[in-house]
Amino acid sequence: MTFPISRFPVPDLEHLPQDIREKILAVQEKAGFVPNVFLTLAHRPDEFRAFFAYHDALMLKTTGNLTKADREMIVTATSAKNNCLYCVVAHGAILRIYAKNPLIADQVAVNHLKADITPRQSAMLDFAIKVCLNSHQVTDADYAVLYQQGFDDEDIWDITAITAFFGLSNRMANVISMRPNEEFFLMGRAPK
Amino acid sequence: MTFPISRFPVPDLEHLPQDIREKILAVQEKAGFVPNVFLTLAHRPDEFRAFFAYHDALMLKTTGNLTKADREMIVTATSAKNNCLYCVVAHGAILRIYAKNPLIADQVAVNHLKADITPRQSAMLDFAIKVCLNSHQVTDADYAVLYQQGFDDEDIWDITAITAFFGLSNRMANVISMRPNEEFFLMGRAPK
Amino acid sequence: MTFPISRFPVPDLEHLPQDIREKILAVQEKAGFVPNVFLTLAHRPDEFRAFFAYHDALMLKTTGNLTKADREMIVTATSAKNNCLYCVVAHGAILRIYAKNPLIADQVAVNHLKADITPRQSAMLDFAIKVCLNSHQVTDADYAVLYQQGFDDEDIWDITAITAFFGLSNRMANVISMRPNEEFFLMGRAPK
Amino acid sequence: MTFPISRFPVPDLEHLPQDIREKILAVQEKAGFVPNVFLTLAHRPDEFRAFFAYHDALMLKTTGNLTKADREMIVTATSAKNNCLYCVVAHGAILRIYAKNPLIADQVAVNHLKADITPRQSAMLDFAIKVCLNSHQVTDADYAVLYQQGFDDEDIWDITAITAFFGLSNRMANVISMRPNEEFFLMGRAPK
Amino acid sequence: MTFPISRFPVPDLEHLPQDIREKILAVQEKAGFVPNVFLTLAHRPDEFRAFFAYHDALMLKTTGNLTKADREMIVTATSAKNNCLYCVVAHGAILRIYAKNPLIADQVAVNHLKADITPRQSAMLDFAIKVCLNSHQVTDADYAVLYQQGFDDEDIWDITAITAFFGLSNRMANVISMRPNEEFFLMGRAPK
Amino acid sequence: MTFPISRFPVPDLEHLPQDIREKILAVQEKAGFVPNVFLTLAHRPDEFRAFFAYHDALMLKTTGNLTKADREMIVTATSAKNNCLYCVVAHGAILRIYAKNPLIADQVAVNHLKADITPRQSAMLDFAIKVCLNSHQVTDADYAVLYQQGFDDEDIWDITAITAFFGLSNRMANVISMRPNEEFFLMGRAPK
């Protein structure tokens, strides 16, 4: 049985603008499959371009103190608060790979307070979850907790922007019923 | 690296009362390992006996219209609302096996409205989640929705009692930091 | 006018299994009437046995630092958060008797911060209410507050298990519309 | 042991302005004791006068379709939502007397859906609780439900104003720790 | 196009009791227009009198440490939490005038943590918002924070009573759909 | 007195990359001032470019059935739910201008149920607020309500994407304390 990957029309690769098709083919080359977020958002090319430009600016950024695993951990924890199936499953998979830890994504998605993470990561997720759920209540005291864990202002911008961007992604995925690729469910789960 | 499976002392098998030791060995024989809920709750033998008598009365019951997969689905969905790592991971694993579906546990844990389940199962989970979060607001109208899906009063007692019992389990697991066995994370995930 | 005590069938004493009938008769002998929780849950004998085995393990336990009044106070406060009429009324009555205080049950049910209780009891109820409503957020800091009030780990298990068990009871009572016996409303209210 | 009835100074009867003293003496004459709301609010004579003028306009009003018991039921149900010990206890007592029903106050305070009330009263309390908790979401549809139960617009104003006024009273009582007189706890509980 | 200012009948000035008509004419004289709260609440003369007696006792009070701007700031912030259009717009206007600050009302209504106010005012609004939303959780610790900012017990009574009174007003305005006069929207916005 | 417009460094126009500087100068030319969102987000040029590309794709889109006023109404209503001062003030100003209605922004920000809008707009805002607060609960039934008001699937994508994008913007603005320009507070308020 096959399931639709979106409530909205999903374009064929060949009918997409060239830049989008090329980006998708590059992802396919690297990952071995095309994550559904690329196909479903390609329904709106201009928004697609902005979405992935934003995504790449935040997630491929090479400066600052957040590791790739830290970033995916933020995405997984906050997407769980937003009950976004696509992002919990897809970014949980990437988190397992970057963290080289087959257990961590489920731990972080259900309750980061029970996860095998450092106090620094736990403070990072406390902050991210506050940004996700009650950003208007963030104050100097929240910044101070992160400073104590070695984060600087630019890191705090990163945590905030990643949380905010995936909050956008979560809402889109929830409303259009974006379906995660089956590949993600198993990825990174084989123990080392 | 090893992690504690409980904040509380975990008894050695050999020092446990015989009936408890035998129950645990039987589980080990069948599952290939001892789920941590048995070891951690054995800290209090009388409560252990009552807990598993209750568990078995609800989950091994052979009458009524709930399948084994239905029951595990209720546990997984409501444990996610209670953010209980142990139960989401352990019962999610059992759900995958009973439902013969490697995707269903993550779907149900994150958002049952996006899960590959029937309208009957969706109504069942709507009811279970209401019992979990706002049981005092359950009225005739909620019963009526389940009747329309073919459930009878005894099924509704089952749904309620399973939700209520695992709400107990979730709170115990959360407060004692019961850790799920690593085996559960991967179980039932290999596609058929 | 008489009211049903449950949405579900209530068995006649004579048709119940002997162990259950004897337990009920013993309660009747002691209390002067049969609390409806016995009759309504007897609809499912196996669950009845597990329920009361669990109940007795927690509430008749003779070790530890929780008094009988402490335990009933936990039940009354958390059952009020779950809006469970049966448990607030029945256990409020028992609380008044154990505490020899005709005012305390209503105080604890409405707002324990305004009750005539000790700081130790207030901390105990703060913890129980957190277990009732947000058990996944319990951390070392919550344990530490109770240690400061003289509670040890086993007491914390007791507080947690009592809260968790009556959370089960509250959900059952709410969904089956378990009606409290009229006797409970007045019990223990006569001033000394 | 005696307990303070307010965090704030409580004036002596003899030092109060004459109109306030007379009002209090009249209440004492009628009730047999002075409810603490009179003594504690007399700390601010001008506010006292406005408070009781408002109270009397709403609660002693002789027109419209709300009975005295209906009004006290609204106060009891909404004060419970605001966790106000004084009002739940004091107005619960008055409700028992007006309704000639020793059980009704506890039922309504814990969960009006389980109370021995009419569908008309249940709709009235649904509306009152919405006004108490989410008044900004009241729409024509909420009015329509009450019309169907025989309430007219003036009754809806009454329900709203009583809820709103006791919301004021609840907040004052909570912040100043107004203590209910012991007399209220037992009043109206003797079965007929 | 004109819009009704209330769901309920609005009396003509000439048919109102003389004391009410005179109060309204006096306000009109001073403000240049009649705020709709006067006309809409005049539907019930006795309640009108009590409402404005209470209002004046709190808002025209000349003792204590709350400035007129402080009081209007409390009204604006808590009315926003109650989503009351009339009070946010009308009292926001008065706040701008008393504070001589065209920006402050919108800041306080949306998020007082981002407003150009003093730490003393911010603590005052924290307290008022707690009284508005969770008055039963106010404890000594909340009083202590205000003492540290120079408030005394009488000021705390004022903050509480203003919040409580406008909570009443918010609920009435929401349910009767009281419409703010257009004049209020622009008042006090011209920069100095 | 001047206030910082961000917790983070705000770049000088002359040190910005040329494309960003030109975009900012073009906005200044058109609006008469530079909205602070441009200056504060220019701290991160790559994110700036993606942010405004996304913004323009959604807000300058010329197809579909949402008017410019509809879009700004969505931004204002949902930003108020997120308590974002910058967006409520800035987009409220733009809403007043597009809708040629000096009252509408405050109405929509406080409670859209009391706003002078059409049933179609009210349904649109109901949906947007659900996407903002509980996107995971959006179902076919929510789509059906919008279809009945004449919206099609592409309009629903627009409503969702605008809500999701400004949810991102709200979180950034809240955490960096982005300050709205004073110009916005008064803009569009002069009656016609």
In chain D, the percentage of residues whose pLDDT exceeds 70 is: 98
Query: Closest approach of chain A CAs to the CA of F177, in angstroms?
Result: 9
Distances in whole angstroms, Cα of residue E157 to Cα of each of C192, E53, E146, F140: 36, 17, 12, 50
**Number of alpha carbons in the 13 Å side-chain half-sphere of residue D139:** 8
Which string of b and e fits B50-75 if b means at least 16 CB within 10 Å? bbbbbbebbbebeebebebbbbbbbb
Nearest in space to E160 (alpha carbons), one of E168, E172, E171:
E168
Q: What is the DSSP letter of B103?
A: T
Asked if chain A contacts chain C via 3 or more Cβ pairs within 8 Å, the reply is yes
For chain B, percent helix, then strand, then coil, each to nearest 5?
Answer: 70, 0, 30
- Which residues on chain E are in Cβ contact (under 8 Å) with C114? 136
Neighbours of chain A (3+ CB pairs under 8 A): B, C, E, F
Per-residue model confidence as pLDDT tens digits over D72-116? 999 999 999 999 999 999 999 999 999 999 999 999 999 999 999
DSSP secondary structure string, chain F? ----S-SS----GGGS-HHHHHHHHHHHHHHSS--HHHHHHTTSHHHHHHHHHHHHHHHS--SSS--HHHHHHHHHHHHHHTT-HHHHHHHHHHHHHHHT-TTHHHHHHH-GGGSS--HHHHHHHHHHHHHHHHGGG--HHHHHHHHHTT--HHHHHHHHHHHHHHHHHHHHHHHHTPPPPHHHHHTT-S--
Question: In sequence order, which ranges of chain C are alpha helices (DSSP H)?
Answer: 18-31, 36-41, 45-59, 68-81, 85-99, 104-110, 119-134, 140-148, 153-176, 182-186
Closest residue, chain C, to B174 (C-alpha): C136
Q: What is the DSSP letter of D14?
A: G
pLDDT at C191 over 80: no
Q: Count chain A–chain C contacts defined by CB atoms under 8 A.
A: 5
CB contact under 8 A, E50 and D44: no
Per-residue model confidence as pLDDT tens digits over F121-132? 999 999 999 999
* pLDDT of E127: 98
Dist CA A174 CA A2 (whole Å): 19
* pLDDT of C24: 98
Q: Which residues, including other chains, have CB under 8 Å from residue C1's CB and lie 6 or more apart?
A: none
Per-residue confidence in pLDDT tens, chain E, 192 aa: 689 999 999 999 999 999 999 999 999 999 999 999 999 999 999 999 999 999 999 999 999 999 999 999 999 999 999 999 999 999 999 999 999 999 999 999 999 999 999 999 999 999 999 999 999 999 999 999 999 999 999 999 999 999 999 999 999 999 999 999 999 999 999 865
Q: Which of A113, A126, A129 to mutate to test the interface with C (most CBs of C within 10 A)?
A: A113
- Which residues on chain C are in Cβ contact (under 8 Å) with E137? 113
Q: Quick check: pTM over 0.95?
A: yes
Query: Closest approach of chain D CAs to the CA of B137, in angstroms?
Result: 7
Query: Closest approach of chain D CAs to the CA of B173, in angstroms?
Result: 28
Number of neighbours of residue D26 by Cβ within 10 angstroms: 10
If residue A135 lies in a helix (H) or strand (E), which one and from where to where?
none
Dist CA C178 CA C173 (whole Å): 5
Closest residue, chain E, to A135 (C-alpha): E111
Dist CA C6 CA C8 (whole Å): 5
Dist CA B74 CA B170 (whole Å): 13
Q: Which two tokens stand for residue F20?
A: 């960003």
* Domain residue extents for chain A: 13-60, 68-175
Nearest in space to D20 (alpha carbons), one of D11, D8, D30:
D11
Dist CA C106 CA C96 (whole Å): 9
Dist CA B138 CA B159 (whole Å): 13
Query: Closest approach of chain A CAs to the CA of F135, in angstroms?
Result: 6
* pLDDT of F40: 98
Dihedral angle over CA of B15, B16, B19, B20, nearest 10: -140
Q: Which residues, including other chains, have CB under 8 Å from residue D29's CB and lie 6 or more apart?
A: none
- Which residues on chain A are in Cβ contact (under 8 Å) with C136? 111, 113-114
- Which residues on chain B are in Cβ contact (under 8 Å) with A109? 109-110
Is residue D102 within 8 A of residue C185, CB to CB? The reply is yes
Give the model's confidence band at C2: pLDDT under 50 very low, under 70 low, under 90 confident, else very high.
confident
Query: Closest approach of chain A CAs to the CA of E41, in angstroms?
Result: 35
* pLDDT of E190: 85
- Residues in chain A where the model's pLDDT stays below 70: 1, 191-192
* pLDDT of D1: 65
Q: Which of A84, A88, A168 to mutate to test the interface with F (most CBs of F within 10 A)?
A: A168
Q: Which two tokens stand for residue D102?
A: 């020793």
- Which residues on chain B are in Cβ contact (under 8 Å) with C53? 46, 49-50, 53
Dist CA A13 CA F134 (whole Å): 32
Q: Which residues, including other chains, have CB under 8 Å from residue F5's CB and lie 6 or more apart?
A: F36, F39, F40, F178, F179
* pLDDT of E192: 52
E-strand spans in D8-101?
A: none
- Which residues on chain D are in Cβ contact (under 8 Å) with C101? none
Chain B residues interacting with chain C (CB cutoff of 8 angstroms): 7-8, 43-44, 46-47, 49-51, 53-54, 57-58, 82-84, 131-132, 135-136, 138, 153, 156-157, 160-161, 163-165, 167-172, 174-176
Closest residue, chain F, to A161 (C-alpha): F172
Specify the residue for token string 């039963």: E136
Nearest in space to A8 (alpha carbons), one of A49, A30, A36, A32:
A36
Nearest in space to D184 (alpha carbons), one of C120, F12, C107, F149:
C107
- Residues in chain F where the model's pLDDT stays below 50: none
* pLDDT of E178: 98
CB contact under 8 A, C185 and D110: no
* pLDDT of E159: 98
First to last CA, chain D: 32
Closest residue, chain D, to B134 (C-alpha): D111
Is residue F89 within 8 A of residue E67, CB to CB? The reply is no
Dist CA C45 CA C34 (whole Å): 16
Q: Which of C171, C172, C174, C177 to mutate to test the interface with B (most CBs of B within 10 A)?
A: C171
Give me chain C's average pLDDT, please: 97
- AA letter at F151: F
Per-residue confidence in pLDDT tens, chain B, 192 aa: 689 999 999 999 999 999 999 999 999 999 999 999 999 999 999 999 999 999 999 999 999 999 999 999 999 999 999 999 999 999 999 999 999 999 999 999 999 999 999 999 999 999 999 999 999 999 999 999 999 999 999 999 999 999 999 999 999 999 999 999 999 999 999 865
- Which residues on chain F are in Cβ contact (under 8 Å) with E173? none
CB contact under 8 A, A161 and F47: yes
Dist CA B69 CA B121 (whole Å): 10
The CATH code belonging to domain C68-175 is: 1.20.1290.10
- Burial status of residue F68 (CB atoms within 10 A of its CB: 0-12, 13-18, 19 or more): middle
* pLDDT of F2: 84
Is residue F170 within 8 A of residue A135, CB to CB? The reply is yes
CB contact under 8 A, D139 and F111: no
Q: Which residues, including other chains, have CB under 8 Å from residue A109's CB and lie 6 or more apart?
A: A76, A77, A79, A80, A88, A92, B109, B110
Q: Count chain B–chain D contacts defined by CB atoms under 8 A.
A: 5
Query: Candidates 2.60.40.10, 1.20.5.810, 1.10.10.410, 3.40.109.10; correct CATH number of C13-60?
Result: 1.20.5.810
- Which residues on chain E are in Cβ contact (under 8 Å) with F84? 110-111
Give the model's confidence band at D2: pLDDT under 50 very low, under 70 low, under 90 confident, else very high.
confident
